[in-house]
A and B are shown apart, each in its own frame.
Chain A
């Protein structure tokens, strides 16, 4: 459970990190598009999004292997070449 909610927070966080400055877009529609769907669109819409998630998990795994704990936010701000992955 703790692990799950942690994963979810990291996922949510990663989406925001992917998002750089953008002009506000009024997202009104008679249908609620669903926040999860919009986040997913941002994620899989841009290769950058996918790469960041892979990078994030790469660091998590590396941290786990080496025993070093590092927060999601700090790994994301580190300037490192992301590993190859599918977009």
Chain B
């Protein structure tokens, strides 16, 4: 796993998420990403390299770029390594529990496509970890060069079980039951167990051949070998061979099935209609777009975070203005799906991710460090957060000063919108509850910002006095 670190460091650090596979490890040194290839992996690595597959996939943008470098580039950590590779940096590391449905689906399809391409040149993948896929904008990129190995005649698809848990089952959860995978996936980082999914799929949904075989039957087979006979069964199965045609057939079948999966609760219509929904642009939206455009034109951020990105209107304005890339965050699955569709169709360097701002991704996994939390992955040099503060302050009872500290902590400069109490949206939030927010005022909000930063510019964009504030904590 390649993970991002914000501060360059001259001594190499092993990346916490890269310990599972003995074939090599990933290190960060001076902000550069290195991967060791250990002697145990040399034969496979050299074979795969010889097929030209890695170069081809990298040239097409499906595999993270990398080249062999002198061991001295890495230092002592390379002592036992046969090769040292240096990889291109992934701008922002995200995890499958932060992906929306179409994002996870794009990752699943990339995994299958790489497998199919690999088998053509007698190469296979040793695992099917969703954490081996990262995103550049909305484009999935495979990042683990050491997952590739020489295909042995008759070998099984070793990663099949893992593929189901980490890609297929979370997608089915949404497409069959209309439940988003994120919370469950974050709780169980290996994805969704086939046995668990089999238990909750309604009876009437079990009769498609795909569901029947991949979920129901697989789960039955797995539980059928528990207990005393397990060893004998495992031994017997391990002696068998899977014909290559069968391996390929299974990949094909899964690919065509996954390609047509859609969320059960929103459906495919959501995907296409964002443009129509957003085709009329009121004065308010136009003023906001211009404000964001001017802001990024001036600051030219390399990475901008859009907290509460919705369908990506202002992320796209930020990119227009001159932001190099935008990582967006939102809670609304339908909005995220539209945002992802927009990023794909308009070829934007924009990755919209799921975030419950009141419960952000923690550092977790083995020893609590394997997958970095959102705070540990802070890498933005600019922030945009529009129509967000009131949802957290009024909707989730987060004190205004905590909220402003949290937001301004993501980037040294940014634009935050304050939506005052008299705004219809806030009135709606207060509709069914007592107003326990006497301190929710523009003055208090300004004071909170000025504790950490300077207000460089402000503009009121509606009659209800929604106001954008540009803060800067660097000067």
Contact = CB atoms under 8 A, between A and B. Distances in A.
Interface of A: 7-9, 11-12, 15-16, 19, 22-27, 29-46, 86
Interface residues of B, number: 46
A74 B282 CA distance: 76
Interface in B232-249: 233-234, 236-243, 246-247, 249
B425 interface: no
B221 A36 contact: yes
Interface of B is mostly: helix
Contacts of B174: none
B161 interface: yes
Contacts of B233: 12, 35, 39
B218 A12 contact: no
B243 A37 contact: no
A44 B225 CA distance: 18
Contacts of A86: 209
B60 to A, nearest CB: 26
15 contacts: A8-B224, A12-B221, A12-B229, A15-B237, A22-B241, A25-B152, A27-B156, A30-B127, A33-B156, A34-B222, A35-B237, A41-B160, A41-B247, A45-B247, A46-B246
Given A8-B224, A37-B164, A46-B243, A19 B159 contact: no
B213 interface: yes
Nearest to B162: A31
Given A22-B241, A27-B155, 18 more contacts: A16-B236, A23-B154, A30-B127, A33-B157, A34-B160, A36-B161, A37-B157, A37-B218, A38-B156, A39-B225, A39-B233, A41-B157, A41-B160, A41-B250, A43-B221, A44-B217, A45-B247, A46-B243
B162 A35 contact: no
A38 B237 contact: yes
A8 B217 CA distance: 9
A4 to B, nearest CB: 8
B67 interface: no
B20 interface: yes
Contacts of A30: 20-23, 126-127
Contacts of B164: 37
A53 to B, nearest CB: 9
A16 B233 CA distance: 9
Given A30-B22, A33-B160, A45-B249, A15 B221 contact: yes
Contact of A45 (B217, B220, B242): B242
A58 B283 CA distance: 69
B158 interface: yes
B452 interface: no
Nearest to A5: B224
Contacts of A45: 242-243, 246-247, 249-250
Contact of B238 (A11, A23, A37, A38): A38
B224 A41 contact: no
Nearest to B234: A35
Contacts of B199: none
Contacts of B242: 41-42, 45
Contact of A31 (B127, B219, B220, B249): B127
A11 B219 CA distance: 11
A85 to B, nearest CB: 11
A69 B371 CA distance: 55
Nearest to A16: B236
A39 B225 CA distance: 10
Nearest to B238: A27
Contact of B220 (A11, A24, A42): A11
A43 B220 CA distance: 13
Given A35-B233, A36-B161, A36-B218, A25 B225 contact: no
Contacts of A19: 236, 240
A25 B247 contact: no
A43 B238 contact: no
A29 B162 CA distance: 13
B462 interface: no
B234 to A, nearest CB: 5
A19 B21 CA distance: 31
A32 to B, nearest CB: 8
Interface centre among B161, B219, B233, B234 (most CB of A within 10 A): B161
B158 A25 contact: no
Nearest to A29: B158
Contacts of A41: 156-157, 160, 242, 246-247, 250
A7 B217 CA distance: 11
Contacts of A37: 156-157, 160-161, 164, 218, 222
B230 interface: yes
B223 interface: yes
B216 to A, nearest CB: 10
A8 B223 contact: yes
B238 A40 contact: no
